Structure 1
Amino acid sequence: MRLAPNQDQTIFAGVLARLLEDDGIAGFHTVANWSRYEYGEALDDRLGEAGFFEAAREADLGPVAAAMMVHEIAKAPVVIECAASALVRPFLGVEVPRPLAVVVDDAPGAIRFLPQAKTLLSISDQGLRVAPVEGQCRAVESLFAYPMGCLDVSPDWTALDTDPVEVRTLWQIALASELAGVLSGGLAAVLAYVRDREQFGQALGSFQGVQHRLAQDAVWIESAQLLALRAASSRDPADAALALGAVQERATRIGYDLHQFTGAMGLTLEHPLHRWTYRARSLRSEMGGASQAFLDYADAKWGGR
């Protein structure tokens, strides 16, 4: 893969970055009743109106631009349903209304973004199914800093004639991009904190022990993003599984470091760190977690030989 984006991808990323600089639609604000998340409806609307969710369909942008978008939006304090809409929906072979919620292998429990979703996508070895779910679910309380919901009725499924392996691969890329972005957003918040917070008369970030740990975290996060972009470029099941497994494996240690260096402040709802680290707790277990992703990687590389 050429790690340098092409001209169209560079312009796409620049326009997206300017949009995300608008604190009014993408910045941190405390929420009524101290909710653990803020759904960025204004940001979602702006992205939809500008056609950002269609980037993967464009030959000069493609899945790489979509993966970049998922990563950058995951860095924002607000949360929107982006990963499935940007990287999976364009390749389903049919038009389905977004936002999307995704369930893999009929995993039990609450589903991310179901309260906002208009369509539920089921991915399994038996195939792909979609169902309209708007108004058919209930929101449930969660620590995960995502809107979570459960269905009240059995979905009215429609089977799709699309390769489930391809869609599973795209969903792994989407999750890897989102988790890398979530961790990157948390790291940026911690870096700002240690630059300002003083101990023993100097900035906390001036101590080498702090610098070394956060530098290692930055390397892990950057490498996770590059693995996700490589997988988006190749759309290879092995690359996708490796990208997801690598970032899921490191997420716990990175989350520990981020909270270690913000101390008690990072545990409060007045500080935005919890939004990223609790999202990471959810994403690191998606699709069976790192151990399952590495088994998928081994299967894709050497299975059947």
Structure 2
Amino acid sequence: MTMRLAFNEDQATFATVLAQMLSDDTEAGFRTVDGWGRFDYGHALDARLEEAGFFDAAREDDLGAVAAAAMVHEVAKAPVVIECAATALLRPFLGQELPRPLAVRVDDAPGAIRFLPQARSLLSITDAGIRWAQIEGRGAPVESLYAYPMGMLDDAPDWQPLDVDPNAVRTLWQVALAAELGGALAGGLASVLEHVRERAQFGRPLGSFQGIQHRLAEDAVWIEGAQLLTLRAADSRDPADAALALGHLQSHATRIGYDLHQFMGAMGLTLEHPLHRWTYRARALRAEMGGAPQALLDYADARWDKR
């Protein structure tokens, strides 16, 4: 399928309504957390999106995975965090209605798992197959610098197999991660752009200096280009497209994060400003599924197999 790089009428309406909902939701804005917590779980936003059926976009023929990926990107731009990516881009294609929120583990990777403390279901993606387990209340929270709720399992779960193609699920998860990472970087960039427009140095706004303009413009090109790659991958569900979208973002995430903190100055190092909410999410996401080296190897393998 060839993507025209433009939403259809239903997708455009979906995106407009979602943007309005995010802008109107006062609880989706930034606020510090008691005890200087690193993340703020957006329970109110989560409930509103679920009640309005946004998590089911991929099931609708006129919306599909493209609208779901666009939603993951937009939601990730908020300073609050919710489990959106797995619910929006994996659950509709698993052949079974898993209880959400979902946590995801790929290739039995050790260590803490994102969203595990809130999760009701844990999804395991391996080449051998896809499994899930009901884990509500079994994810022990762990302290982490990442701006996500992180947790560890207290014991081995009771795995149940799912009759789905593991390669297709892996591809969708790469799309989901690319959408979430792109949104996190875009949210951080927006906060820095606001700062450099308002912050004056030598009698001029920081944003008027050409060197800053060039660096942030380059970051914006990488982020916006990656969003198009991600939407293309959501449309095609092609392994090469998905691996390229994720690898592109993961390979540039460190440089973009450096620029964002560089131009935010000392304020960007505090918990009183939301920048850490996006850049520390990006630090976690840039290492998912083996990071950029693995994603780009996946891309090369997928392209080579087509020859």
Alpha-carbon separation, structure 2, partners of 1:256 and 1:116? 30
Matches within 5 A, 1:120-131: 120-131=122-133
- One-letter amino acid matched to 1:99: P
Alpha-carbon separation, structure 2, partners of 1:304 and 1:166? 16
| Secondary structure class of the residue paired with 1:21 | helix
- One-letter amino acid matched to 1:259: H
- One-letter amino acid matched to 1:239: D
1:194 aligns with 2:184: no
Q: Deviations over 1:163-221 (max 9, x none)?
A: 00000000000000100000000000000000010100110110000000000000000
Alpha-carbon separation, structure 2, partners of 1:54 and 1:242? 26
Q: Which residue of 1 aligns with 2:280?
A: 278
Please point out which of 102, 105, 108 is paired with 2:107: 105
Alpha-carbon separation, structure 2, partners of 1:34 and 1:23? 22
Alpha-carbon separation, structure 1, partners of 2:124 and 2:238? 21
| Secondary structure class of the residue paired with 1:128 | strand
Matches within 5 A, 1:120-269: 120-269=122-271
Alpha-carbon separation, structure 2, partners of 1:184 and 1:302? 32
- One-letter amino acid matched to 2:175: I
Q: How far 1:23 moved relative to its partner?
A: 4.7
- One-letter amino acid matched to 1:168: R
Q: Which residue of 1 aligns with 2:88?
A: 86
Alpha-carbon separation, structure 2, partners of 1:303 and 1:287? 20
| Secondary structure class of the residue paired with 1:34 | coil
| Secondary structure class of the residue paired with 2:73 | helix
1:45 aligns with 2:47: yes
Runs of 4+ in 1 over 3 A off after TM superposition: none
- One-letter amino acid matched to 1:54: D
- One-letter amino acid matched to 1:173: V
Q: Which residue of 1 aligns with 2:121?
A: 119
Q: How far 1:303 moved relative to its partner?
A: 3.5
Count, aligned residues: 305
Alpha-carbon separation, structure 1, partners of 2:217 and 2:96? 44
| Secondary structure class of the residue paired with 2:164 | coil
Alpha-carbon separation, structure 2, partners of 1:301 and 1:127? 23
- Which range moves more in the overlay, 223-232 or 295-304? 295-304
Alpha-carbon separation, structure 1, partners of 2:257 and 2:124? 29
Q: Which residue of 1 aligns with 2:33?
A: 31
| Secondary structure class of the residue paired with 1:32 | coil
Alpha-carbon separation, structure 2, partners of 1:280 and 1:127? 28
TM-score, normalised to structure 2's length? 0.98
Matches within 5 A, 1:45-64: 45-64=47-66
| Secondary structure class of the residue paired with 2:123 | strand
Please point out which of 75, 78, 82 is paired with 1:76: 78
Cα contact 1:137–1:153 (8 A) shared by 2? no
In structure 2, do the counterparts of structure 1 residues 299 and 203 end up closer, same or farther at CA, with 3 Å as the change threshold? Answer: same
| Secondary structure class of the residue paired with 1:149 | strand
Q: How far 1:137 moved relative to its partner?
A: 1.7
- One-letter amino acid matched to 1:141: E
Alpha-carbon separation, structure 2, partners of 1:296 and 1:151? 29
TM-score, normalised to structure 1's length? 0.99
| Secondary structure class of the residue paired with 2:35 | helix
Alpha-carbon separation, structure 1, partners of 2:236 and 2:139? 36
Unmatched 5+ residue regions in structure 1? none
Aligned-residue Cα RMSD (Å) equals: 0.8
